[in-house]
Structure 1
Amino acid sequence: MCNRTNNLELCSCTDMSVKRIQQLYSEEIKLLDRKEILKVIRWKLKKNVGQEWNGMDGLMIMPSENLTQELSEKRILNDLNQTNCFDFEYTPNNGDNLIFEIGWLFNRWGKRINKKIEYEYSSFIFKDEKWVAHSYNGFYEKTEIIKEGVIKNVTQQRV
């Protein structure tokens, strides 16, 4: 079971149902004002499996430097490169990709909001023994999910 901390800790909870996420973030949800929304951040750890055109072309959405006020690119890089943020046994390999994105929105009453928001994400690739801010081209570079979960630390963005 995931316990919350102020450090960047990546929880690989197998139960990522809305009910479980509501329980995990219940304290933050209670602190929201009437019109505020809580952004809950999910992560995906992927491995690069090579290059392959997926048959589509288009415009890529570039990663964001600040997914929330608390979750900046600089903070993520610092934590990833200074400590083991994973709650499972994991040794990064060159080319591994860690993506953070807004997974759920909740209002003060703990209800999930299906509000349309612009897709935002942050992406990091393990290269030369450290994590760097970078992303793969989804049209030409193929990846597979190793693990996914939610962030345990405060990732609240009041909207």
Structure 2
Amino acid sequence: MCTPNTELQFCTCAEGNINDIKDIYIWSIYRYHGSRESLIRGKVMMPVKDFENRISAEHMTSKLNHGNIFDFDYTPQERDTIHISFNAKNRAEYKYFTLIFRDGVWQEGRNPLFVSIEKNIAKGEVKVLYKEENEFLNHCENLRCQYGIEIPESVKVTCANLKDDSQDPIYSAIKNFKEYKIFYRQEFIEYIVKTYFKIYPDENSDRLQAMIDSAQNKFSILEEKFISETENFAFLNRCFKDLDKNLEKCFFITIPFQNKETHLFINSNLIGRTGFKSNRNNRYFKNKSQKIKFEDFELFKDY
């Protein structure tokens, strides 16, 4: 069980274009100005009604219907809407829901898409304030400073209110963090194989395979390179640099659970999801003697 330790504050204090600020919660008020004909048709991303940490359509509706929660005077008009979203750095984490003022009360819903004329009249940040210092969030900040690990915002929101002795596996994995692990992405493997055998066209795969296997647990996110006091990873680091040191393109970064079999993904389009090391390796073939195998994983289907 979690103990709510948060308050929400709707403020307009952000400087510059708030949409350029990532990993924050944004509110936007739109005023209805009528309808128009439209030939536009399309699919709309489905809303997420509960972001957790008390940012939900139900909780926001209750707060709005019991007084002004903004840092300015605002009197809603019929068919005003409030769009609340998580402006994620990683697109896979983006989510939103919309509330509408109808018949004198706020409720879930929105004006018809494509045909409604609406004007944005105000926007700002939904700030999640903690009544007490939060040890879990402090721990996440330490991981960022010490290792360069960015814990997904959705995970922080979920875990921040859990009790210290919680047995939640994701909470435990982060709290008891000892190391992170990378899984190579196909694009990175393809690039290093093609580059290596262009330099050493007559070699087989043995030396490169040994290098890839050894380097997997020796990558520093902070220093953006493979590091070892006894092994030379200059070739892999050069390839990583050639690919613009793009973590998303080259690696899946994970935090292993205590059982070492399950992993929490903390980057890419899998951010916040969990999976496990597959019994089968991925393989990339250039030819029969020049081939590389690398670890693969599978995602849990219930996520």
Q: TM-score, normalised by structure 2?
A: 0.38
Deviation for aligned residue 1:131: 0.4
1:79 aligns with 2:54: no
Residue identity over aligned pairs, in percent, reads 24
Contact 2:14 2:125 in 1 (8 A): no
Q: Distance in 1 between matches of 2:125 and 2:92?
A: 19
Structure 1: segments with no counterpart, 5+ residues: 23-38, 105-113
Contact 1:94 1:129 in 2 (8 A): yes
Contact 1:8 1:79 in 2 (8 A): no
Q: 1:15 to 1:55 in 2, by over 3 A?
A: farther
Q: Distance in 2 between matches of 1:141 and 1:83?
A: 27
1:145 aligns with 2:142: no
Q: Match of 1:7, SS?
A: strand
1:62 aligns with 2:54: no
Q: Distance in 2 between matches of 1:17 and 1:141?
A: 25
CA deviations on 1:56-92 (whole Å, 9 max, x unpaired) are: 2111223221133431211111111112101111111
- Size of the aligned set, in residue pairs, is 129
Contact 2:25 2:127 in 1 (8 A): no
1:52 aligns with 2:39: no
Q: Match of 2:106, SS?
A: strand
Give the structure, 1 or 2, with the largest relative contact order (CA under 8 Å, sep 6 or more).
1
Contact 1:70 1:154 in 2 (8 A): no
Aligned to 1:9: 9
Q: Tell me which protein shows more helix as a share of its residues.
A: 2
Contact 2:87 2:94 in 1 (8 A): no
Equivalent in 141, 145, 154 of residue 157 of structure 1: 154
Structure whose alpha-carbon radius of gyration is higher: 2
Aligned to 1:88: 72
Range with bigger deviation, 132-141 or 147-156: 147-156
Range with bigger deviation, 146-155 or 44-53: 146-155
Structure 2: segments with no counterpart, 5+ residues: 131-152, 156-271, 273-303
Q: TM-score, normalised by structure 1?
A: 0.69
Contact 1:52 1:142 in 2 (8 A): yes
Q: Distance in 1 between matches of 2:116 and 2:46?
A: 15
